[in-house]
Amino acid sequence: MKKEDALFSAHAILAALRASIRLLRWGMLALVLIYLGSGITVVGPEDSGLILRFGKLLPAVHPPGLLLALPPPFDEVIRVPSRRVQEVSLDAWSPAPDEPADLPALHPARNPYTLTGDANILRARFSARYQISDPAAYAFGAADRDALRDSILYETACRTLAGMPVDDALTTRREYIGRETMRLAQEAFDRLGLGVRILAFETREINPPAQVLPAFQDVISAKVEARTLVEPANARRASEIPAAESEAYRIRQTAGADARELVAKAQGEAFSFLALLKEYRANPEVIHARLYSEMIETVLPKVRVSAVLPSSKGNVRILLAPQKWDSSQSDEPPAQEPPAMPAPSQNHYDPAVKKGPVDD
Amino acid sequence: MKMLSRLCVAAVVLIILLCCMAAFQVRQNEMAVLTLFGKPVRVIREPGLYGKWPWPIETVNRLDARLNFYEIRLSEALTRDKRNIVAPVFVVWRIDDPLKFLEAMGGIESAQGKLDSLVSSAKNSVFGRYDFGQLVSVNPAEVKIAEIERAIAENAAPQAKTSFGIRIEQVALKRLALPEVNTTYVFERMRAERAQFAERYRAEGRRMADQINAQTDSEKTVLLAEAKKDAEETRGKAEAEAAHIYAAAHGQYPELYTFLRGLEALKKIIDANTTLVLDANAPPFDLLKSAAPQSSPPPPR
C-alpha cells in the first residue's frame, strides 16, 4: 500500500514538473517575442526620431509616428524635440532678488553686468526662442549644449552692447540689440554645428544699475520738460501761421477788390465823361449853363455869408447878411459884430472864393 | 533530439556571453582608445560595433567626441592703455587626438583645469595688445572683441593641440566688467553725465521753443508784408490803368474836364464856413440884373 502511494506521489510530481516546464517554455517564448518587439516605438508629434545602430547614427530622420527599430543592443532610438519652439530665459545679468539697491559698488562675479560702448554699466534680462534645425547635430553636437547655447547668446549680446552708447541701448536701439544678437548668435551656432535656429531674441529688461537710476530718471524728466516747452510753441505756431495766411489772403483780396473798383470807377467816369462830351459838343452853352447852375445851387445854400457886388461902380460895396449862431460849435454866442461897411477902394475887385472870416 | 536542442540553447547563451565580453559599441558621440593590459593599442574615431579581447586583456577607454564647454575662472586683465578689465571667458573645445588626450589629461575634469591656465594666460597676453577703446566704443567699427577672441584662441590652440590633444573651436568673452572698486567711479561719472544730459535737454527745449516762436513771428511778418506788397502792386496797377482810362477820356476835351473838375472841387470845398464874394455879373446873379448872361461856355471843339 505504501509502495503504491509512493509511486502515485512520484507520478504527480513528474506531471507537475512537466506542466511547469511547458509553462516556462511558453513564458520564454513570450519574453523572446517581447524582446523582439521592444524596438518598436512611437515618435511623438513634436519629436523627430533618430536610430543608432550598433552606436552609429543612421542617416534617416524619422517623422512622428510608429518607428520600427531593432531591439537593444542592436538599435537605440533617440527622440529629439525638433518641432517644439523652445524658450530660454537669460537672467544672469539682472540683479538677484536679495541684492541691496544701495550697494556702493558692483562685484563682477556676484553682481553680474556688462558694459556699453561708452563704458557705462547695464543690467539686463533677455529671452530667446529657438528651434532645432538639425536633430542629429543637436543630439550629438555638444556635451553641455544648454550652457553653451546660453553662453553664446550672452557673448553676442555683450558684443552688441559694447558697440553702442547706453542711451541707445536703453531707448531707441532695443530692437537692434535683438536683431544683431540673433544674427551673431546664429552665425556662432552654425559655425559650431549645434543644429539650432534662433527664432527671436528679446530684451525683457535693460536698465542702468539701481545706484544711478535716479540720475537716469532725471534725464527722462528733462526730456519731458523740454517737450513741455516746445509743445506750446508748436501750438502757437499751428494757430498763428494759418491766421496770418488768412489775413494775408484777406489783404490780397481787398486790394484786388479795390483795384477792380478803381478801374470800374474810372471806366464808369470815363464813359460818363464821354457821354457828356458828346452832348456838350452838340449844345455847349446849354450844358455849360446847366452844370454851372447846378453847382451854384449846390454850393450857395451852404455858405454862411454871401455878397454880391456890383461891378459897374467905382466903389466896392459888400452886403453882409447877419451870421447865424451855430450852437454846436461854441457854448457862447458870438459877439455881435456891427454891420461892416465897405471901405472905399480904388482897386478893382476880382470875384474870388474865400474861406473863413471876412475882413473888411 | 532533446539533447541537441539543449546543446543549441547552450551555444546561443555562450555566443551571447562571448559577444558581451569581446564586442563593444562606440556611440555616435564617442571616440575610444583600446588598451592591452593598460598599453594603448588602438584608437577608434568612428562609431560602430568593434571587437576586442575580453577584459582584463583589453579595456575600452571611452572619450566624448562632442564639443565641450568650459568657463574660465574670473580674473582681471590689463589692457595696453593700462585699464583693468574683468572679462569672463569661455572656451569651446573638442578632443582632437584621443590617445594624446588620454595620456596627457586622463579625463575631462583634468583637461578643464589645464585649459583654464592655458586660456587665461593667452587672454592676458592678448588683452595687453589692445586698448580699452577696442573692447567698448560707441563706434561699432572700433570694437575688436571678435578679433580679440580669435587672437586668444589662436594663441592657446597650438599648445592645446600638441600638449593635450585638444582642438580649441572657439574662445569668447561672455561679458565685460570692471574691478569692483572701479564701479564706484563709474557710478559717479554716470551721474555727472546724466546731470549734464538733463541740463542739455532742458536747454535744448528752451532753445527749440524760442526758435519756433521766433520763426513763427518771422513767418507771420513775412506773410503779411508779402501780402501788403502784393496789395500795393495790385492797387498801383489799378491806379495806372484808371489813370490811363481817365487820360484817354479826358484828353479828348481837357477844357471840359477842367471845368467839370472845377465844379466838383467847388462842391467839395465850399461849406458852411465859406464866405463867397461874387461878381454880380457872374451867373446866375447876373439874372438879377436886366443884362443878359455874359459868361458863355467855351466853344466846343
Can you give the pLDDT of all 360 residues of chain A as single tens digits? Answer: 567 777 788 888 888 888 899 899 899 999 999 998 888 999 999 999 999 999 999 999 999 999 999 998 899 999 999 999 999 999 999 998 888 888 889 999 899 999 999 999 999 999 999 999 999 999 999 999 999 999 999 999 999 999 999 989 998 888 999 999 999 999 999 999 999 999 999 999 999 999 999 999 998 899 899 989 999 999 999 999 999 999 999 999 999 999 999 999 999 999 999 999 999 999 888 888 888 888 888 887 877 655 565 555 555 555 555 555 444 444 444 444 333 333 333 333 333 333 333 333
Q: Are residues B80 and B157 in the same domain?
A: yes
Torsion of CA A167, A170, A173, A175, to 10 degrees: 180
Q: Are residues B80 and B163 in the same domain?
A: yes
Q: Which chain B residues are within 8 Å of A266, Cβ to Cβ? A: 241-243, 245-246
**Closest residue by Cα to residue A26 from A34, A38, A15, A37:** A34
**Closest residue by Cα to residue A179 from A128, A136, A235, A143:** A128
Q: Are residues B29 and B119 in the same domain?
A: no
- Is B201 close to A273, i.e. CB distance below 8 A? no
Give the closest-approach CA distance of B143 to chain A in angstroms: 6
pLDDT number for residue A312: 55
- Is A142 close to B68, i.e. CB distance below 8 A? yes
pLDDT number for residue B290: 52
pLDDT number for residue B10: 86
By C-alpha distance, the chain A residue nearest B93 is A142
Of A140, A143, A292, the CB nearest to B28: A140
Q: How far is the CA of B103 from the CAs of B34, B106, B266, in angstroms? A: 13, 6, 135
Q: Is B184 on the interface with A (CB under 8 A)?
A: yes
Evaluate whether residue B174 is within a structural domain: yes
pLDDT number for residue B274: 77
Evaluate whether residue B278 is within a structural domain: no
d(CA A177, CA A158): 10
Evaluate whether residue B231 is within a structural domain: no
Q: Is A171 on the interface with B (CB under 8 A)?
A: no
Superfamily of domain A86-98+106-208: Band 7 domain (3.30.479.30)
Q: How far is the CA of B70 from the CAs of A19, A87, B94, B101, in angstroms? A: 62, 23, 11, 16
Evaluate whether residue B266 is within a structural domain: no
Q: How far is the CA of A12 from the CAs of A9, A26, B128, in angstroms? A: 5, 21, 93
d(CA A227, CA A210): 26
Evaluate whether residue B265 is within a structural domain: no
Best A138, A168, A251 member to test B by mutation, with max B CBs in 10 Å, is A251
Chain A, chain B: beta-carbon pairs less than 8 Å apart: 397
Q: Is A60 on the interface with B (CB under 8 A)?
A: no
Of A240, A256, A299, the CB nearest to B234: A256
Evaluate whether residue B96 is within a structural domain: yes
Evaluate whether residue B233 is within a structural domain: no
Q: How far apart are the first and last CA of chain B?
A: 167
- Its domain, for residue B6, covers 2-64
Could you give the count of Cα atoms lying within 13 Å of A315 in the half-sphere of its Cβ? 7
- Is B263 close to A223, i.e. CB distance below 8 A? no
Q: Are residues B85 and B16 in the same domain?
A: no
Q: Which chain B residues are within 8 Å of A352, Cβ to Cβ? A: 277
Residues lower than pLDDT 50 in chain B = 291-295, 297, 300-301
CATH number of the domain to which B87 belongs: 3.30.479.30
Domain boundary among the residues B170, B191, B225 is at B225
What's phi and psi for B110, nearest 5 deg?
Answer: -65, -40
Best A353, A354, A358, A360 member to test B by mutation, with max B CBs in 10 Å, is A353
Q: Are residues B12 and B50 in the same domain?
A: yes
By C-alpha distance, the chain A residue nearest B296 is A285
Give the closest-approach CA distance of B89 to chain A in angstroms: 9
**Closest residue by Cα to residue A43 from A5, A77, A70:** A77
Cell numbers for B15: 555566443
Evaluate whether residue B267 is within a structural domain: no
Q: Are residues B85 and B37 in the same domain?
A: no
- Is B186 close to A192, i.e. CB distance below 8 A? no
Cell numbers for A181: 544678437
- Overall domain count for chain B: 3
DSSP conformation class of B292? P
DSSP conformation class of A309? E
Spans of all domains in chain A: 2-80, 86-98+106-208, 233-297
Q: How many CB atoms lie within 10 A of CB B150?
A: 15
Q: Are residues B102 and B150 in the same domain?
A: yes
Q: Where are the beta strands (DSSP E) in chain A?
A: 40-43, 48-53, 56-57, 65-68, 75-80, 86-90, 114-115, 121-132, 196-207, 305-309, 352-355
Domain boundary among the residues B18, B35, B64 is at B64
DSSP helix/strand/coil, B274: strand
